[in-house]
Chains A and B, each alone.
Chain A
Amino acid sequence: MADRILLAHGSGGKLAHDLVQKMFVDVLGNPILAKLDDAAVFTASGRLAFTTDSYVVTPIFFPGGDIGKLAVCGTVNDLAMSGARPLYLSLSFIIEEGFPQKDLEKIVNSVKEATDEAGATIVTGDTKVVDQGSADGLYINTSGVGLIPEGVDVSGGNARPGDKVLLSGPIGDHGIAVMSKREGFSFSTKLESDCAPLNDMVADMLAASSNIHCLRDPTRGGLATTLNELAKQSEIKIIIEEERLPVRDEVLAACEMLGFDPLYVANEGKLVAVVAAPDAERVLNAIRKTRYGKEAVILGEVVEGDSGRVVMKTHLGATRIVDMLVGDLLPRIC
C-alpha cells in the first residue's frame, strides 16, 4: 500500500476497498462490520438512545490520546449520560489527501482500544478523501446507539431543589493538555488528557441509586457551561463551592499563565451528576470506586429561586455568578 492516503482511497474503487478491508475491517473485526453491507443490521429492544458527534481536534495526537480515542469516548459518553449502555457505533472519516497511513493506523488502533474498553462495536462506517488543504489532516464523525435499562430516567430537565451536584474528578485536564501542543501557547507539561469512556462508571452509579436525576459530561465550554445548561433545562438554581472544586496543579498553573478560568476548560472524561440528597453519599462512593472517579466530590447543590442561574461561593465566602462560556477561550496578557 502507498504510505499516504490518496484521493482514490475515498472514491469507492479497488484502492478504497483495500483500505477499508485492511485498515478498518481487519482491525475492528466483528461480524456485522465484516459483512460490509450498505447498512448494519442488528436487533435491539427497549428504550434506545442515539447520538452523533464530529471530531475536529487539533493536534490530532495529544498527550493522553488522539482523535480516534476521543471520537469513541465522546459518543460513548453522550450515550452514557442518558443512562444508556453503548451498543453500536458508526465511524466516518474525512481524510485530507496526503495524510500518512501510519497515522491512520494508529488512530484506528486507538478506536479499537477505546471500543473494547467501552464494550461497544463499530458496525458501519464511511471514508471520504478531500483535497490537500482541507480537513486539517483528518475529521471523524461517530454516531452511537445505546440501550437504556428499564426504569432509568435521566435527563437535564430532572433536577430538583435539594438535590446534590456531584463531579467525578479534577477539571481542565483535556483542554490544557491539548493546548500545550498548539502553536502560540508553548509550554511543557506531564499533564495528559482525561479522555476516557464513562459508561462503566454510570452503570455502577445507576446500580447504587435509582434517584440520579441528571448526568452530563462537561466537554467544550467546561464545567461552567454544563452547569448553566442543566440550570436552564431544569429551571432551577445551582450553587457550587470553590473550596471543593478539584483542579490539578498543572491545570491551575497553565490557566494562571494564560489567563483562563478552569471552569471553562474542556474535559473528556468527567461527568456531573445531580442526585437526590439522601443518595448522594452512596453515589459518590460508587464513583470513587471506579477507575476514572477516584477524586470525585460533592460540589454543590440545587436550590430554590433565580431559575437558570449558577453561582459559586468563592474562597472568601462571597458569592459570584458563574456564566456560560462566551465565544472561545482566548489567552490574554492583561
Chain B
Amino acid sequence: MKFLSEFRDAGLAKGVVSQIHRRSKTPARFMEFCGGHTATILRYGIRQVLPATIEMLSGPGCPVCVTANADLDKAIALAQMPGVIVTTFGDMLKVPGSHSSLQKIKAEGADVRMVYSTMDAIHIAEENPSKRVVFLGIGFETTAPTVAASILYAEEKYLKNYYVLSTHKLCPPVIKALLASGEVNLDGLICPGHVSAVIGSRAWDFIARDYAIPCVVSGFEPLDVLQCVDMLVTQVEEGNSKVEIAYRRGVRPEGNPEALRLMHEVFEPCPAQWRGMGTIPDSGLKLRSTYQRFDAECAFDIDPGPTREPQGCICGDILRGVKTPLDCRLFGNNCTPEDPVGPCMVSSEGSCATYYLYGRNSGR
C-alpha cells in the first residue's frame, strides 16, 4: 500500500534503530498516549529493538477504554427502547457495561447495528423512516469532526430520525490532568498522530512549555514510531523540550482548520467522566443547543439504571500509566479477551488486550 508499506520496511528500520542505540545514553521514560501506538509497539516488537535506557509506558488514549460504565449503560438502555436502532462502531460491541453489553442485548433481539462510518448510519436512518436511529459517538478529535459532519448532513437532508449520543472526549485536557496529578514521571510524550492531524501539533505546546517534557507527534507504522523515539532521545540528550512532528506527511502545526471548525460548530466542551480518572472539566464534547434536536440525551428519556463497577478491575490505574496489565490479578485469569471484565481487555487497543495478544513471553 502506497505511503503505508514503505514505512514498515525492515531494511530502513535498521538505520533508525542504530541511531537510537548510538544516541541514547540517559535513561528515559516515554509514554505513548494513543492505543494505536501501543498496538504498533507490541505488534512489531519495538521494545525488543530499543536500548535498555528507554522505558515505554502506555497511556489513556483508547476512547473505548476510557468510556465510563454510565455512558455505555445509556447506549444499552437506548437500544432496548422500542423503535430504536442503535448504530455503533465495532469497537463498542463487546465492552461490558454495568450489567450487559451491546453485543449481548443484540443477541436478545435489540436492533444494534455495526457501521464503519456515520455515513452508513445516515443511510440506515433514511431507509427506516419509522425508526429512530441513534449513533453512538465515541472517539477523540479524529472522530468527532466526522460525527459533526454527519449531523450537518442530517440537517441538510431534513432527517428527523437521526440522533447522536455523544461520549466524545478531548485529548489535551486529559494529558494535562495526568501530568498535573504528578502520578507519572515522563521524559517524553509520543503524541497521537491522527488526533494531531486534526488539532495540530501546536495543541501540545503547553506540555513542552509548562512541564518541560519533549513531545513528538508520531505516525502509526513501525518506522514512524522509531523515528519518533529517535527524535525524543535527541531532545533528551540535548536537554530540550519542544514540540516536533515526526509524522510530517500527515500533520501540520495548525492541524485541519476546516475539521476543527465543523467540530466546534456542532459540539461544545463539557465535563466528562473518564474511567479511572473521574470527571475532568472541559474534556468531553456535547451537542450545542442549536443542534439539540439531534442530541439523543435530549430527545430520549434515558434510564440506564444504577451504575456498577466490576470488582478487582484496575483499568483506571492501567489507563493512568501507574500500573501495567501484568500488575492486575485478574489479567489472564478472570479477565481474558473471551471473557473481559474491564474495557482495557475488550478494546483491541486496550493495554490489556494488546499485552495479552502480543506481549506475553516476548521480551521485556
- A: residues with CB less than 8 A from B are 183-186, 243, 249, 252-253, 256-259, 306, 309, 311, 314-321, 323, 326-327, 330-334
Contact = CB atoms under 8 A, between A and B. Distances in A.
A259 B4 CA distance: 14
Which of A184, A315, A320, A334 is most buried by chain B, counting CB atoms within 10 A of its CB?
Answer: A334
Given A332-B348, A334-B62, A334-B64, A316 B4 contact: no
Given A311-B362, A316-B222, A319-B362, A327 B90 contact: no
A258 B116 CA distance: 8
Contacts of A318: 44-49, 362-363
Given A184-B120, A318-B44, 11 more contacts: A183-B113, A186-B116, A252-B1, A256-B1, A317-B49, A326-B336, A331-B116, A332-B89, A333-B89, A334-B63, A334-B142
Given A253-B1, A327-B337, A331-B116, A321 B222 contact: no
B202 interface: no
Given A327-B94, A330-B93, A315 B222 contact: yes
Contacts of B114: 184, 330-331
- Considering residues A316, A321, A323, which has the most beta carbons from chain B within 10 angstroms of its beta carbon? A316
B90 A331 contact: yes
Contacts of A316: 10, 13, 17, 44-46, 49, 222
Contacts of B35: 334
A203 B61 CA distance: 52
B115 A321 contact: no
A317 B46 CA distance: 9
A321 B360 contact: yes
Interface centre among A258, A259, A309, A333 (most CB of B within 10 A): A333
22 contacts: A184-B113, A186-B120, A243-B10, A257-B116, A309-B361, A314-B45, A316-B17, A316-B46, A316-B222, A317-B45, A317-B49, A319-B45, A320-B45, A321-B360, A323-B356, A330-B90, A330-B93, A331-B90, A333-B91, A334-B62, A334-B91, A334-B142
Interface of B: 1, 4-5, 8-10, 13, 17, 35-36, 42-49, 62-64, 89-91, 93-94, 113-116, 120, 138-139, 142-143, 222, 336-338, 347-349, 356-363
A333 B139 contact: yes
Given A258-B116, A330-B93, A315 B361 contact: no
A19 to B, nearest CB: 33
A243 to B, nearest CB: 7
A320 B358 CA distance: 5
Contacts of A319: 45, 48, 362-363
Most buried by B among A309, A318, A331: A318
Contacts of B64: 334
A220 B13 CA distance: 34
A309 B361 CA distance: 10
Given A184-B116, A186-B116, A333-B143, A315 B42 contact: no
Nearest to B348: A332
A318 B41 CA distance: 11
B120 A321 contact: no
Q: Across chains A and B, which 5 residue pairs bring their CB atoms closest together, nearest first?
A: A318-B45, A318-B48, A330-B90, A326-B337, A331-B90
B140 to A, nearest CB: 8
A109 to B, nearest CB: 33
B357 A314 contact: no
A309 B349 CA distance: 22
Contact of B139 (A314, A315, A334): A334
A209 B116 CA distance: 47
Contacts of A256: 1, 4
Nearest to A313: B45
A332 B46 CA distance: 23
Contacts of B361: 306, 309, 321
Given A320-B43, A334-B35, A334-B139, A315 B10 contact: yes
